[in-house]
Amino acid sequence: MSGPVKLRAEHVRKVFDVEGKPLVAVEDVTMTVRENEFVTIVGTSGCGKSTFLNMVAGLIPITSGILEVDGRPVTGPGADRGMVFQKYTLFPWLKVLDNVKFSLKKKKGLSAQEKDKIAREYLRLVGLAGFEDAYPSQLSGGMQQRVAIARALAYKPSILLMDEPFGALDAQTRGLMQELLLKVWEEHKTTILFVTHDIDEAIFLADRVYVMTARPGRIKQEVAVPIPRPRDYHTMTTPEFIAIKRQVMDLIREESMKAMG
């Protein structure tokens, strides 16, 4: 895919201090994500997927290497990056509309009326028109995650980071959320970096899949997903999808076997 590079990682390394001993979590990760691209990362449990995403988010510092968003070094959290976690990080005391509007609080040049309009539009996009005055506790898990996605998208981050956002949902809701996310992404073409342990999900959503090794996490292979869009749940039954899934499963299985012994 052509287009400007949104995220550039070169030889990124992360070492944690665990009781005075170094623990290498991520080693020599080099990758790019281009504008409007949907990229996923998969790998064995504990391979460093979420650690890498948290470094991109600026929540934890890199130990060495280069990590840039829009050509600027990542030195901490910033409004250029939106983040959606597995747990629904909504403010329980705020209504749904106010949760989404909260992300626009520091958007300069927007009137209160404009912020209200933007928040309502993104709630409509994620299928929650009519729930503006509800509180998070009144919503199902899938609906709460839709609010979190609307909030992250509303202030139009340069790149949206998603850390297993559908991991806590049941299989049926998860599938519907994947299709919803693709619909919103195709309409707005946000740049997305998405971490998941679900191989089907990784392939279904992505333009490219990065497969990580067992810890310390390195990029084992980049797998292109040349499956036409728009996609729906039938996509997962096509020969093209099944062939890519087999390739990714083999790569991860190889790493799982190494990790076991």
What distance in Å separates the CA atoms of residue 233 and residue 132, rounded to the nearest whole number? 29
Alpha-carbon Rg for the chain in angstroms: 18
The answer on 107 and 224 residing in a single domain is no
What distance in Å separates the CA atoms of residue 66 and residue 30, rounded to the nearest whole number? 9
What distance in Å separates the CA atoms of residue 238 and residue 53, rounded to the nearest whole number? 30
Helix (H), strand (E) at residue 13:
strand 5-18
Domain final position from 129, 156, 183: 156
The answer on 234 and 149 residing in a single domain is no
Domain final position from 156, 190, 207: 156
The answer on 163 and 152 residing in a single domain is no
What distance in Å separates the CA atoms of residue 161 and residue 56, rounded to the nearest whole number? 8
The answer on 179 and 65 residing in a single domain is yes
What distance in Å separates the CA atoms of residue 149 and residue 176, rounded to the nearest whole number? 14
Q: What is the pTM of this model?
A: 0.93
Contact 60, 37 (CB under 8 A): no
What distance in Å separates the CA atoms of residue 149 and residue 126, rounded to the nearest whole number? 8
What distance in Å separates the CA atoms of residue 58 and residue 68, rounded to the nearest whole number? 10
Domain final position from 156, 180, 211: 156
Q: Is 28 exposed, middle or buried (0-12, 13-18, 19+ CB in 10 A)?
A: middle
User: Euclidean distance between the first and final Cα of the chain, in Å?
Assistant: 38
The answer on 196 and 68 residing in a single domain is yes
The answer on 255 and 186 residing in a single domain is yes
What distance in Å separates the CA atoms of residue 176 and residue 220, rounded to the nearest whole number? 30
72-110: pLDDT as tens digits: 999 999 989 999 988 767 999 999 999 999 989 878 888
| Residues of the chain predicted below pLDDT 50 | none
What is the pLDDT at residue 17?
A: 92
- Residue 170 exposure: Cα atoms within 13 Å on the Cβ side: 5
The answer on 181 and 165 residing in a single domain is yes
What is the pLDDT at residue 1?
A: 60
- Residue 202 exposure: Cα atoms within 13 Å on the Cβ side: 28
Total domains, the chain: 2
- CATH code of residue 46: 3.40.50.300
Q: How many CB atoms lie within 10 A of CB 222?
A: 12
Contact 141, 176 (CB under 8 A): no
What is the pLDDT at residue 256?
A: 87
What distance in Å separates the CA atoms of residue 224 and residue 248, rounded to the nearest whole number? 11
DSSP 241: H
What distance in Å separates the CA atoms of residue 211 and residue 228, rounded to the nearest whole number? 21
The answer on 103 and 115 residing in a single domain is yes
* Helices and strands per DSSP (H, E), number in the chain: 7, 10
Q: Which domain holds residue 241?
A: 5-80+159-260
The answer on 138 and 67 residing in a single domain is no
The answer on 47 and 99 residing in a single domain is no
Q: What separation in angstroms does the CA of 189 have from each of 37, 53, 184? A: 8, 20, 8
The answer on 128 and 37 residing in a single domain is no
The answer on 147 and 110 residing in a single domain is yes
Tokens representing 231? 């996609």
